[in-house]
Amino acid sequence: MSKSKKTLHKRIKICGLTRPEDIAAVNEYRPDYIGFVFAPSKRNVSEMRAAGLKKLLSPDITAVGVFVNSPIDDIVRLVSRGIIGAVQLHGDMEGFETVQYAEDLKKALAAARPAASVPLIRAVRVKDGDDIRRAVSYPAEYLLFDTFVKDQYGGSGVRFDWSLIPHIEKPWFLAGGLSASTIKEALNTEACCLDLSSAVETDGRKDPKKIQEIIQTVRSV
């Protein structure tokens, strides 16, 4: 794939929104996705808070729910209530979030929302190329490559070696260490979407100016 094709049509996800001010910023600058974190995290939101924030969110922006080893019923309830429109799984593929778990989740989502497509995004904490190769066959519409940090399921802000990612047919998101200084390099990968959280924060809170700058950089290509 040529460099020019790699850099075109990148989507953007701003993850870890927790406040009405965060929603106001994304409504203004229009990423493609935002993320509500329902897993243990400093960016965690309750179902009640996420429901309130979703009411403020532009309908043109897809809300993604981020989960770690969550019961299927909890995820289905959030989808059924219209709080999220996509599901991002960050848990243990060989323990809780197995292939069977994903298949059961997809069936439950299809039964709950038969008229709506609810894509699964399988997060992969990358230590080496084998982690990526094992994840390709997981029954999810997208993969998301993030940095492996011991005892942490995501949101570390640490970058991994992007050259470990081979060409794969399944579309994938890139996360982990994306920032204003690395975003142009990220645009030259085959990622379909760039996923940012700590890079658009100041003192642990989402910063509208940083959100604006990152989105303008990506969209200017």
Task: Report percent pLDDT > 70 for the chain.
Answer: 91
pLDDT at 57 over 70: yes
Which phi and psi angles does 88 have, rounded to 5°? Answer: -115, 120
User: What integer pLDDT is reported at residue 73 of this predicted model?
Assistant: 97
pLDDT digit string, tens, across residues 85-106: 999 999 998 889 999 999 999 9
Give the separation between CA 159 and CA 40, rounded to whole angstroms: 21
Give the separation between CA 220 and CA 136, rounded to whole angstroms: 31
User: What integer pLDDT is reported at residue 148 of this predicted model?
Assistant: 54
For helices 20-29 and 47-56, the axis angle rounded to 10 degrees is 40
Query: Contact, 160 vs 125, CB < 8 A?
Result: no
Active-site residue (options: 15, 22, 193, 195): 15
What's the pTM? 0.91
Q: What number is the average pLDDT over the span 48-62?
A: 98
Going along the chain from its start, the domains and CATH numbers come out as 3-219 (3.20.20.70)
Q: By C-alpha distance, which of 160, 130, 145 is closest to 191?
A: 145
Give the separation between CA 216 and CA 221, rounded to whole angstroms: 9
pLDDT digit string, tens, across residues 118-165: 999 999 988 777 888 889 999 999 999 987 555 555 555 667 788 888
**CB atoms closer than 10 angstroms to residue 56:** 12
User: What integer pLDDT is reported at residue 151 of this predicted model?
Assistant: 55
Catalytic annotation present for 146: yes
Q: By C-alpha distance, which of 145, 170, 144, 173 is closest to 159?
A: 145
Residue 2: helix, strand or coil by DSSP? coil
Query: Contact, 206 vs 15, CB < 8 A?
Result: no
Q: How confident is the model at residue 3 (pLDDT cuts 50, 70, 90)?
A: very low
Active-site residue (options: 22, 32, 130, 146): 146
Catalytic annotation present for 130: no
Residue 214: helix, strand or coil by DSSP? helix
User: For the chain, what is the mean pLDDT?
Assistant: 90
User: What integer pLDDT is reported at residue 4 of this predicted model?
Assistant: 38
Q: Token pair of 123, please? A: 């997060």
Give the separation between CA 175 and CA 35, rounded to whole angstroms: 13
